[in-house]
Chains A and B, each alone.
Chain A
């Protein structure tokens, strides 16, 4: 494993599989235990450096680090680094001087974790950067698919929604391709990036056409504000054409699952009846997120004295 986790595009098949297998081992090691804690990272310090609000991702990383017995510091720094206050570089050097071993960073600017990695000695974990990547989300999604469907090779995954602005979509495209899944992106053309043709995916505009052959449908969050910039005419029209409702769910094969990275807009991209159905893995994804992030921290910080 490399020193940093900056993007899913960086991971080869062995690296990615190692993370998923490690997460599974951690999960079974903790299963049924009263104290859900491993001593692996005792004495190590993990900093959650969050430039954007993201309660769920921060809590997930915090829990992951604490379950590995690391010391965790949450550093919430909102606003851009240049317009007000301390620069990203100064913040990074300050945290490092205080003895951080890993920095988990969420930032509104694409590539901010890459910059950070050039300035610090410790490990950097990308917890979402701008519209670029969110690699641990893709890892937990892959883990969830493998858990539910038993494999990733040849699995047909349909990703639906605002691909243009989605770091979750980008990470999933690269990771799923690396792991042998077949990815189809479905969105209005306005929400697909120019250049999507160079990605290892199929692209379609018609959700109904692809559902009958999907093993996994991954719904992306769509912000209603996008309609003000004419990405689509109205929330209702978006929902009619690209939302996953009960009728569309009925077109899926029997074993197909429905995923969502959260937070959901119920009634917009996903209907409540779908989100709460047995096909939905949304709650599993949250739980698996902690295991996968434990695996990432464990592998990056070289937990030489393996679990137990």
Chain B
């Protein structure tokens, strides 16, 4: 089976035709004609390698009322993703080979994106002793990213051992950086707004202190560290310093931390409650600058679906987290591309190449070139639309972008040459 994509602009550059055969890019050139091939008109559309998310909560097993591997995969494909890392904080926790293989199989069955399970660092995310990281790495799911996300691996000795241990697995520890003693009862960024709203503050120092500690540990033992959802200007500075010293550290930022500020907490609508919390405008600007200069390697969604009843409540009793998969690229276009901070190659680097490298995914994040796996998306950058949470593919509707107009529309997505999204519609 062959598909001929006509007139697409790889990385926003000159229009070409792209021939996809047998799951790979077979030819790239002008005015290709291939008898019998399905033709996809893509005039004016930007072609990018399929996006890779390092940080997705698919909620299955355990909270299938909020999201399933299948519904989350569909949301991902519609967002232009071809691979997502499924976080370990399910019920049961993904801390054994059995659970990660189950999630991996559910992903294969859904067939919309490659679902790559993340393994828990510690048993039950309890931060007490290491889970069987080797068994998860050796399983069919081939786990390379380990994270207790939702919880910080707060014990410094345990964190050191985890960093050391995963070296043997070519793995990486993805740290949710939050000193728990500094965030007891925390509800939102600690600052002027928390003072007035009377919501317990989540100080930037609680994130920065753990990142500082962990980059020192990673440097000391020569291990790879990945920092989840960096949210403060101070964190960016610490990462910049660590990288200048040669520490093997990578970091991600979420779309919502690139766009939204703690001003959203006014009105107490918990759709804006998230962990780490939305920060200040100065933090947003520092995160954009850090993503532009490569201090922050990747955009990761922290897509966190929640059932209606877990959000339709008082702020303090609502669960933290917000949807991201379907709007991530649009937010990056608005916050990074349109202001000139990233070009399309930069978007490909931060949303596909770098996350694939961090997760050790060999067939994702590849160039749009002959012989490469045909994982790609086609984006209409001129399109603008207002986000309607009810129209999202996710089973939940806790989108912080509801009612906002955002640029860019993913028109087509291909996974190994097969269309998962055509003309904005999921194909399964």
Contact = CB atoms under 8 A, between A and B. Distances in A.
B197 interface: yes
Nearest to A193: B195
B315 A110 contact: yes
A80 B316 CA distance: 10
A175 to B, nearest CB: 13
Contacts of A195: 190-196, 201
Contacts of B191: 194-195
A239 interface: no
Contacts of A87: 309, 312-313
Given A114-B268, A170-B196, A195-B192, A109 B317 contact: yes
A131 B187 CA distance: 12
Contact of B198 (A82, A132, A194): A132
A262 to B, nearest CB: 20
A260 interface: no
B200 interface: yes
Given A114-B268, A194-B203, A81 B313 contact: yes
Interface string B307-347: 00110111111100000000000000000000000000000
A303 interface: no
Given A81-B317, A194-B201, A111 B268 contact: yes
Interface in B105-123: none
B35 interface: no
Given A111-B268, A194-B190, A130 B316 contact: yes
Q: Interface residues of A toward B: which range?
A: 20 to 34
B317 A82 contact: yes
A223 to B, nearest CB: 15
A149 interface: no
A47 B155 CA distance: 49
B198 A133 contact: yes
A231 to B, nearest CB: 13
B313 A88 contact: yes
Given A114-B268, A115-B268, A194-B190, A9 B196 contact: yes
Interface string B286-322: 0000000000000000000000011011111110000
B246 interface: no
Interface residues of B, number: 26
A110 B195 contact: no
A3 to B, nearest CB: 15
* Most chain A Cβ neighbours within 10 Å, of B192, B196, B313: B196
A123 B222 CA distance: 61
- Scoring B267, B268, B313, B317 by chain A CB atoms within 10 A of each residue's CB, the highest score goes to B268
Interface string B161-202: 000000000000000000000000001001111111111110
Contacts of A37: none
A277 to B, nearest CB: 32
A196 B196 CA distance: 8
B198 A167 contact: yes
Interface in A107-132: 107-112, 114-115, 129-132
Nearest to A133: B198
A194 B195 contact: yes
Contacts of B269: 115
Contacts of A170: 196, 198
Contact of A193 (B194, B267, B312): B194
A88 B317 CA distance: 11
Contacts of A110: 187, 197-199, 268, 315-316
Interface string B194-221: 1111111101000000000000000000
A80 B310 CA distance: 13
- Most chain A Cβ neighbours within 10 Å, of B191, B195, B309, B316: B195
A83 interface: yes
Interface string B144-155: 000000000000
Interface in A162-216: 167, 170, 193-199
A109 B314 contact: yes
Contacts of B313: 81-82, 87-89, 115
Given A194-B203, A195-B193, A198-B192, A83 B317 contact: yes
A194 to B, nearest CB: 5
Contacts of A80: 314, 317
A196 B269 CA distance: 23
A111 B199 contact: yes
Nearest to A113: B268
A249 B266 CA distance: 40
Given A195-B190, A195-B191, A196-B195, A131 B317 contact: no
Given A81-B314, A130-B199, A193-B195, 8 more contacts: A9-B196, A107-B314, A112-B314, A115-B314, A115-B315, A167-B198, A194-B201, A195-B201
22 contacts: A81-B317, A83-B317, A87-B309, A87-B312, A88-B313, A89-B312, A108-B316, A110-B198, A111-B316, A112-B268, A115-B315, A131-B200, A132-B198, A132-B199, A133-B198, A193-B195, A194-B194, A194-B201, A195-B191, A195-B196, A195-B201, A198-B196
